[in-house]
Amino acid sequence: MKNHSKVGFETKCVHSGIDEYEYGSVVPPIYQTSTFKFKSAQHGASLFAGEEKGYIYTRMLNPTVQAMEDAIAALEGGHKALGCGSGMAAVHTIFAALTQAGDHVVCSSAVYGPTTTLLNTIMKKFGVETTFVDTSNLDEVKKAIKPNTKVVYVETPGNPTLCISDLEEVSKIAHKANVKVVVDNTFMSPALQNPLALGADVVMHSLTKFLNGHADVVGGIVVVKDEETYQHFRKTLNQTGGVIDPFNSFLVHRGLKTLAIRMDKHCESAQTIAEWLEKHPMIDSIRFPGLKSHPDYQIGLKQHKGPGGMITIELKGGLEAGRLMMNSVKLFQLAVSLGGVESLIQHPASMTHFSMGKEARLAGGITDGLVRISVGIENVKDLIADLEQALKKVEEAHLKDVEVHV
Ligand SMILES: *Cc1c(COP(=O)(O)O)cnc(C)c1O
């Protein structure tokens, strides 16, 4: 479907990026080939010169990959997109394309961990400095911008605190200083939030999460607004080589078709679970964009169509309570990642961030009782029943502990 500007989002999910194929194939064929044959020396020459359209080599462009890229560009309301081998390959492509030695980046402090590490190690090694600020605080953004700032990089809702940055206002501040705004839209997906329409210049996603949605692909994507930026990014990606392959692109494209209905279910179930958790005696605090108790609830209403499927809770009882909950769930699976059809649960203090030590964890906002939940599309009553029995074990242990200590 070539002109997708007028149809509804669900229709775009099913039809975007789909063309006329040989044999009347309804879905894009998987062109599992590394290279494409030229008809003649002249044909090869004109393809390389860009005088004729066509495919040369899969690192440069592949029809199956391109179908998926076109679909996501349409869903984000962008001009074109670039498929990458992972979300981190997408993040790296962005900084490789937009910065050089001597430049400065302003980045959300609540951002995906490896993004922080990339900026603090590899980008720093190549002379790019980063200031991390709470981008949900507009004054902090204003103050952090310097004459050599090239990018404001925002993740909203942020990881794992789920704080929300006002994309319209951040974009205004950055553009006044001639700085590009890049948004990691992984937690929302284009079904819930379209940063380009709110003023951002570039959007990225980890395809690994909601876009593919089935926990069987690692991939990333960058969406841009105009042809000039696209050509610049394409050259960068072609040179650094972090492309996605045709088969994974096919799987992502298949996942996209159900994105709208999956996101509806993620949001609805997460809302039900969050409201239930908020009243539970073992929950010290909860962060979920769909609760009125969320500090940025109003900003959320302004810029996203739904709260998403991610919930962060603070358990009473700290590290041991977190461990016990992890070992007690039966339906929720203990795993990192998010955005798949299956519900996942993670306890950073005893798992992903254990080796950091408590002090470093606390500096990053990761308390001992913090638990992150990715709500899947199972029956919500089953999910609540699982959390209920696991929290009951935590409560019993907590009561015993309290008795021992008095
Ligand atoms: C997972 C994730 C990434 C990185 O994506 P990979 O596909 O794992 O490389 C980046 N940003 C956010 C918000 C993520 O959740």
Locate the domains of the chain by residue range: 9-256, 260-399
* Confidence band for 66, pLDDT divided at 50, 70 and 90: very high
Span from the CA of 108 to the centroid of ligand 1 (angstroms)? 15
* 209 is known as an active-site residue: yes
Whose alpha carbon is nearest atom 11 of ligand 1?
112
Question: Domain 9-256 belongs to what architecture?
Answer: 3-Layer(aba) Sandwich (3.40)
* 254 is known as an active-site residue: no
Span from the CA of 226 to the centroid of ligand 1 (angstroms)? 24
Which one of the listed residues 150, 180, 209, 372 is annotated catalytic?
209
Residues 350-395 have pLDDT tens digits of: 888 888 788 878 877 889 999 999 999 999 999 999 999 999 999 9
Q: Which atom of ligand 1 is nearest to the CA of 187?
A: 13
C-beta 206 within 6 A of ligand 1: yes
C-beta 194 within 6 A of ligand 1: no
* Confidence band for 2, pLDDT divided at 50, 70 and 90: low
* 184 is known as an active-site residue: yes
**SS3 labels along the chain:** CCCCCCCCHHHHHHHCCCCCCHHHCCCCCCCCCCECCCCCHHHHHHHHCCCCCCCCECCCCCHHHHHHHHHHHHHHCCCEEEEECCHHHHHHHHHHHHCCCCCEEEEECCCCHHHHHHHHHHHHHCCCEEEEECCCCHHHHHHHCCCCEEEEEEECCCCCCCCCCCHHHHHHHHHHCCCEEEEECCCCCCCCCCCCCCCCCEEEEECCCCCCCCCCCCCEEEEECCHHHHHHHHHHHHHHCCECCHHHHHHHHHHHCCHHHHHHHHHHHHHHHHHHHHCCCCEEEEECCCCCCCCCHHHHHHHCCCCCCEEEEEECCHHHHHHHHHHHCCCCEECCCCCCCCCEEECCCCCCCHHHCHHHHHHCCCCCCEEEEECCCCCHHHHHHHHHHHHHHHHHHHHHHHHHHC
Residues 135-185 have pLDDT tens digits of: 999 999 999 999 999 999 999 999 888 999 999 999 999 999 999 999 999
Span from the CA of 45 to the centroid of ligand 1 (angstroms)? 39
In this prediction, residue 15 carries a pLDDT of 96
In this prediction, residue 288 carries a pLDDT of 98
* 31 is known as an active-site residue: no
Q: Is the pTM of this model over 0.85?
A: yes
Which one of the listed residues 12, 103, 112, 201 is annotated catalytic?
112
Ligand 1 probe mutation, 112, 312, 352, most atoms within 8 A of CB: 112
Q: 260-399 — its CATH code?
A: 3.90.1150.10
Span from the CA of 114 to the centroid of ligand 1 (angstroms)? 8
Span from the CA of 112 to the centroid of ligand 1 (angstroms)? 7
